[in-house]
Amino acid sequence: MVDTASIVIAVVSMVGALSAALFTVYGTYLADERKRRHGIQVEVRKYSDPLLVAADDLQDRLYEILDVGFTKYDIKKNENGIQNVEIFSSFLLAQFLAWARILKIQTQFLAFSEDKSTSYLRESLYKISDELSTNRYPKPAWEFRLWPGHQLAIGELMLVKDKDTTQLTPMGFHDFNDQFKERFSVYFHWFIKSIHNVNGARYDGSEIIPDGRGRRLQHLLVDLVKSLDSDGNARAGREPQKCIPAAKCDCLTCGDMELAKDRRDRRRSCNAKTAAKLEV
């Protein structure tokens, strides 16, 4: 005859052992997850400073292009005019894209999006990339557009490994200038043309200046700079200035709700398409 008490004791022991094992596994998972997230936060803090500097440099140049403008002397008579207007402007954009790329690589391609403390950084980078690439505006407003593949290609081409530390870093302006014609000019052709189109329209007294995308970009970059350096220490108290706003802008100051909704809907649509492809 089966000993019922022995069976009960055995079952209870087995359940206890299984529960203990599950708690051990779950505890290990939580510890590993905390360690992983801490490591990601460390990497985000590490690369946020150079991203801040790159974003500040780029927004400052966009402000100069959009609200100050380049004179004919700056472009034609100044010995380094063309290099400054075309190649250095391109370098500042390339430098920003490179640091954004490095941040994504070092943080497991934005795995930090799960962390609320860095969610604004993720959203800011998405909005900037989306603004650069979107075709939601009428064709006359396509100035400064940069296709996502070109953004990625520029970021990748800019990356070099430090010989001593093996860490990724963007190439400097000297190397960029040397390699511009052969490796980068194809990606910056439209960006450079846009600078001249906007500058020319301003000095020709045109009623329509196709600079809306550039103005939205400059505002989004200023928002990013302020979020990365909320106390202003990195900028020595120098407040980045936003240019005259575009007709529609969903930066923190302008807050166009329709454009913000359109941007969110576009992202959901892209995520849904990606998920559908993965399920196939």
pLDDT value at position 115? 62
Strand 159-161 relative to strand 168-170, pairing: antiparallel
Question: Tens digit of pLDDT for each residue in 43-57?
Answer: 667 778 999 999 999
Q: How confident is the model over 136-165, as a mean pLDDT?
A: 89
Residue 99 pLDDT greater than 90, yes or no: yes
Contacts (Cβ under 8 Å, ≥6 apart) of 168: 102, 105, 106, 159, 160, 161, 162
Beta bridge partners of 159: 170
* Residue 170 phi, psi dihedral angles, 5° rounding: -75, 150
Predicted confidence at residue 18, as pLDDT, reads 77
- Counting beta carbons within 10 angstroms of the beta carbon of residue 70, is it exposed (0 to 12), middle (13 to 18) or buried (19 or more)? buried
Residue 194 has pLDDT above 50, yes or no: yes
Looking at residue 34, what is its pLDDT? 63
How much is the mean pLDDT over the chain? 83
* pLDDT one-digit tens code per residue, 196-222: 999 888 888 888 888 999 999 999 999
Average of per-residue pLDDT across 134-160: 89
The pLDDT score that the predictor gives to residue 214 is 95
Q: Please determine, for residue 29, whether its predicted confidence score (pLDDT) is greater than 60.
A: no
In the predicted model, is pLDDT for residue 252 greater than 80?
Answer: yes
Higher pLDDT: 230 or 131? It is 131
CA 43 to chain centre: 15
Residue 66, pLDDT score: 93
